[in-house]
Amino acid sequence: MASVIQKNDSGRRRRRRRSGHAAAMSEINITPFVDVMLVLLIIFMVAAPLVTVGVPVELPKTAATALPAEQEEPLTITLTADGLIMLQETEIGMDELIPKLRSIAAERDSDKVFLRADGAIAYEQVVQVMGALNAGGFSNIGLVTESGGPTLDGNGG
C-alpha cells in the first residue's frame, strides 16, 4: 500500500495511509445462494407430480388421451404381473380390499380411482377388482394405459 509522509507543526514526520482505499467487505453476498435455491425449487416443483406411483407394471398401449389433472391425489390400484394387488404402494389381499376401500371412500371427496393393470393379467382378474372397487364406493374408475398404441382407424399405427 502506498503511504504519504507528512510533517506536522513540530517538524516530525508522520506516516498516514491514503484514505482512497476501500475497507474489506464484511457482508456475505446472498444473491448466488438465492439463485441456486430458486432453481432447485423449480426443479422440485416440476419433478414432484411425476413421482406418484412407484409400482412397476407393463401397461397396455392405447390411442386414448390423458385425463385432466385432479385437485386431490388420485387413489391408484395396481395389478402386477404376479397377480398382486397394490393400494397406492401397499400390497393388499383381495379379501381386505373392499373394507379398506370403504374406509377410504368415507374420507375422500372424490369417488375417482385409477386402475393400473399389467398387460399380462387376465381380463377376469381386472373385472373382479373393478367389481370390488364399485362395492367399495368408487364408481368412477379410470383404466390407466400408455399412449402410442394402435389407433384402430385403418391407418396403421
Given this model, what pLDDT does residue 42 score?
Answer: 92
Given this model, what pLDDT does residue 13 score?
Answer: 61
pTM of the shown model:
0.54
Domains of the chain: 74-147 (3.30.420.270)
Given this model, what pLDDT does residue 70 score?
Answer: 58
Residue pair 58/146 in contact (Cβ under 8 Å)? The answer is no
Mean pLDDT (the chain) is 79
Beta strand spans in 38-117 (E): 61-62, 75-79, 85-87, 90-92, 112-117
Pairwise CA distance, residues 26 & 20, whole Å? 18
Q: How many CB atoms lie within 10 A of CB 95?
A: 8
Averages of pLDDT over runs of 10 residues in the chain (157 residues) are 56 59 77 92 84 70 69 82 88 89 85 87 88 87 79 66
Given this model, what pLDDT does residue 38 score?
Answer: 94
- Cell (9 digits) for 99: 373394507
- The residue type found at 138 is F
